[in-house]
Structures are given as C-alpha cells and as structure tokens.
Structure 1
Amino acid sequence: MSVVLPGEVVQTQHKSLKLGPGLKQFVDSQGRSSIIVTRAGTLEQNPKGNKFWVEGNSRRYVPVAQEPVIGIVTARQGESWRVDIGSAHQASLDGLAFEGASRRNRPNLKVNQLVYARVSLAHKDMEPELECFDAQTRKAEGFGELKGGFLVRCSLKMCLNLLDPNHFLLPLLGSRFALNTAIGTNGRVWISAKDVKQTIAVARCIEAADPDGGGMDQNAIKKFISTLDL
C-alpha cells in the first residue's frame, strides 16, 4: 500500500489485471499501455493481486466500467430510463439491457424503483450507461429490478469491504438468519430479511462496521449483535 497522486504511473506485470476506481489504462501513439492514477489516495490491491484501485476519502462515486451499482430510477426517457447512481451525472439504462428483453418484452420500471446493474460505459466525456446482465453470459446473474427490501447508504470503502468474500460481516449475519443482499460499489447496499427487526439489525451493523462510522471489528460487532432484540 502506497500513497499515489494523479498522473502517476502504476507498475504491474499481472496479465489479467482489473482496474478499480482511481485508475485508468492509457495507450500512447506507439501502442504502449500504461496505468495512470486519476485521483489522490492509497493504492490498494486484492489478495490475488489481479485488481488494483485507489482508496481515497471521496464520498462521490466515480463510475468504473464493469462495477456493480445500485441505482434509483428517476425518469423514463423514450425506451430507456434515467438512473441515479450517486455520481456527478445520472446514468442511462436501456430497455433492452436486461436478460431476455425484446421490443415486446421489457421491464416496466417505475420512478424510485431500485435496480442492481453493471456499469457498461464509463467515460469522462459521456454519461454512464448501465446494463442488467452479465456481459459474458448475457444472463441476469442477480442483476435487475430490486423488489422490496431496504436501501442502506454507507461509505465507498465499506461497500468494497462487503464485496470481499473474506470480510466477516455478511457471513456472521447470515449464520444467524436468512438474508439477501445486493452490494454496489457506489456506497449503497440493498438488504432483504424476514422481518423488520432483522432488516434494522443488518443496517445498524453495516453502519457500525463502516470505517467512516463506528469502524467496529468482528469481536465488537458480535457484542453489538448480542445487544439487539433478535
């Protein structure tokens, strides 16, 4: 982990590297590729060493292609929708960007509806574009309309933590009661539990474990859960 500034070049030899927030691939006129830092922060990488990103204290989400996000439909625009994903500009979601969608068979999303989507286009000079299927399989793979449940807002760092399969929080909660979640990299987590008490408990635990909030570790969260009426 090291501190990086905009314009710096990141050196890595991994063949199947994935870039997260704060990094961008640049190809010069001679076809040489390099990875450029686009925002100040600390350079982070996953345990496998195949994904890098820059962790900063920004609270505004910067769209990155292939990242999962939770959006809120704000308006219908012809055959597509405008979706708030917490970035500087709203994203667009085409009516055909769903598994099995066709001109005659497409979702009928309403304003304020939640959707779990992938960023399919992220460019500084264009508005973000979303799709609700996996680019490889063309299957929904969990993406699409989110019905019911409850939306929790947290830091971008907390979302990255929850997306890490080795993070303790969701497995700990899942061992106590049935729980469905959708995690966006844009500071939003959708949760669906059996009853209101469990839903509130999950939301409070996320807030308590958030580095920008309580920052509790696993032992502290276990004690915290024991104080909840579950």
Structure 2
Amino acid sequence: MVKQQVVLPGEVVPMPDASQAKLLRLGPGLLQTDKDIHAVQAGLVTNNPVGNAWWISNSKKRYIPAAGEPVVGTVTGRSAEYYRIDIGSAYPAQLPVLAFEGATKRNRPNLAIGTVVYGYLASASRGMEPEMSCVNAKTGEADGYGELKGGFITKCSISLCQRLLDPRTPILALLAARLPLDVAIGLNGRVWVASKTIRGTILAGNAITNSEFLSPKQCETMVDQLCTTMKL
C-alpha cells in the first residue's frame, strides 16, 4: 500500500492493483485518466483504508471546492431563493433555501447573517460559485447537516481536516473521553466544536489545532495537561 509518497503535478501515482482502480475513491489532488491516476497537486499521497479513499495532502491555505466534500461555512448574505455562504474559497457557495430537510416554500429555515451551517457541496466547477446542500441526496434527510448552534469555528489546515475524518486519528477520541463534545469537520479548513461549557469548547478547539504535528502519545499528554489546567 502506497503511503506518504511525495508527488508533483503531472506524475503518475502508482496504486497497489491497477485492475481495481475504478473502485478507488479519489479525493483532492488526484485525477483518473484512462488507466492511470495522476497528481494535479504537489504533496503527499495519503490513503484511508476505510472506503479505500486516496488524496493528496499538502499545506495549501486556499480551499478549492470539490463536489461531494463536507464544508463548514458562515451565512454572509441572503435572497428569496438562496443564502450566500462563506466557505473560504475564491467564490462563496450558494445554499438554496429549500436545501434543508423538510423545507417547503411555506416552511423553511430563516437563517440570520453570521449563522454557521454544515453541509456538502452538491456541485462545484472552476470559475463558478459552488452549490451547497444540507440534505443527504441518498436518504433525503439531514444526517447531521444544517444549522450549527452555539460553539465556535476553529480554522485548521486542510490536511489536518482530512486527517480528522480518518478514524485512526486519535485526538477526537481522546477529547470525547474527557468531556461531552460535538464536532463538525469541513474539508475547507474549518472545524466547528461545541461542548456544554465555554471552557470545554475552547479547550477542544485549541487541542484540535495543536494536534496537527503531534504523535498519538503526545496528543494524549496534551489533552491530559489541558484538562488538568482548566480543571475539566
């Protein structure tokens, strides 16, 4: 299995079994052409065995929207048909007012400017505003998407957000074992965290941000120290 291989744009990324290339889930930075998979970004080839997902991990700061990716954003404008959502990309996302579970023309959410929402990108094209949705297209239900109340957003590197979605990343499990915690992870470099207390929320946000370059053991030590210092 290929792990942490450094690639440059245009290079062919070798996979364990080319015959299974169609079964791979390609994430940001990878593009399949005929039988080969090419890198379109410089960085490290990373693999998550859960779902056989592959992507390029790097330290880019500007988010490039990609269809299907979960995002955390803030309402910056509204019209009769759409909300405009800041997701940290070159263009804001459009969120239809009916793209919520159970929303109708007479019964739809009324989101104020500054409201934090969690959803996924239903469509994204270069040079155009991406469209966001808060309804799972397969189930027709919210499945965790929608307005996020309370808590706060912490900005992280996109590579850290990608790792947080990997169940092997220990920091979220370590925090959940010490305090009640709600987390929404966006692949646009934004993580929303909320706990029962402001102190717990701040602790969780700082721990997640500081965990990027720590080993599992170092993460455990950091969480213990933070909880002791803040008496949690």
Compute the TM-score of the two structures, normalised by the length of structure 2: 0.87
Indicate how the Cα distance of structure 1 residues 131 and 218 shifts in structure 2: closer, same or farther if over 3 A, else same.
same
Out of 105, 109, 112, which is 2:111 matched to?
109
Q: Secondary structure at the match of 1:123?
A: coil
Q: Answer whether contact 1:21 1:63 (CA < 8 A) is retained.
A: no
Residues 191-223 of structure 1 show CA distances to partners (whole Å, capped at 9, x for unaligned) of 111111111111121122123xx7783343244
What is residue 192 of structure 2 aligned with on the other side?
Answer: 190
Q: Once superposed, what is the RMSD of the aligned Cα atoms?
A: 2.0
What is residue 211 of structure 2 aligned with on the other side?
Answer: 209
What is residue 136 of structure 1 aligned with on the other side?
Answer: 138
What is residue 4 of structure 1 aligned with on the other side?
Answer: 7
In 2, the alpha carbon distance for the partners of 1:35 and 1:228 equals: 48
Indicate how the Cα distance of structure 1 residues 91 and 57 shifts in structure 2: closer, same or farther if over 3 A, else same.
same
Moved more, 124-133 or 46-55: 46-55
Deviation at 1:81, TM superposition (A): 1.0
In 1, the alpha carbon distance for the partners of 2:21 and 2:40 equals: 20
In 2, the alpha carbon distance for the partners of 1:24 and 1:14 equals: 11
In 1, the alpha carbon distance for the partners of 2:109 and 2:186 equals: 21
What is residue 222 of structure 2 aligned with on the other side?
Answer: 221
Residues 157-214 of structure 1 show CA distances to partners (whole Å, capped at 9, x for unaligned) of 2212221112111111111121111111111111111111111111121122123xx7
Q: Does 1:20 align with 2:27?
A: yes
Q: Secondary structure at the match of 2:204?
A: helix
Out of 118, 121, 133, which is 1:119 matched to?
121
What is residue 61 of structure 2 aligned with on the other side?
Answer: 59
The amino acid of 1:221's aligned partner reads: M
Structure 1 unaligned regions, length at least 5: 27-31
Q: Secondary structure at the match of 1:97?
A: coil
Q: % of aligned pairs identical?
A: 46
In 2, the alpha carbon distance for the partners of 1:23 and 1:71 equals: 25
Indicate how the Cα distance of structure 1 residues 49 and 81 shifts in structure 2: closer, same or farther if over 3 A, else same.
closer
Indicate how the Cα distance of structure 1 residues 57 and 184 shifts in structure 2: closer, same or farther if over 3 A, else same.
same
Q: Answer whether contact 1:197 1:229 (CA < 8 A) is retained.
A: no
Runs (4 or more) in structure 1 with deviation over 6 Å come to none
The amino acid of 2:53's aligned partner reads: K
In 2, the alpha carbon distance for the partners of 1:123 and 1:11 equals: 27
The amino acid of 1:173's aligned partner reads: L
- Residue-pair matches, total: 223
Residues 125-145 of structure 1 show CA distances to partners (whole Å, capped at 9, x for unaligned) of 322111001121111000001
In 2, the alpha carbon distance for the partners of 1:220 and 1:95 equals: 44
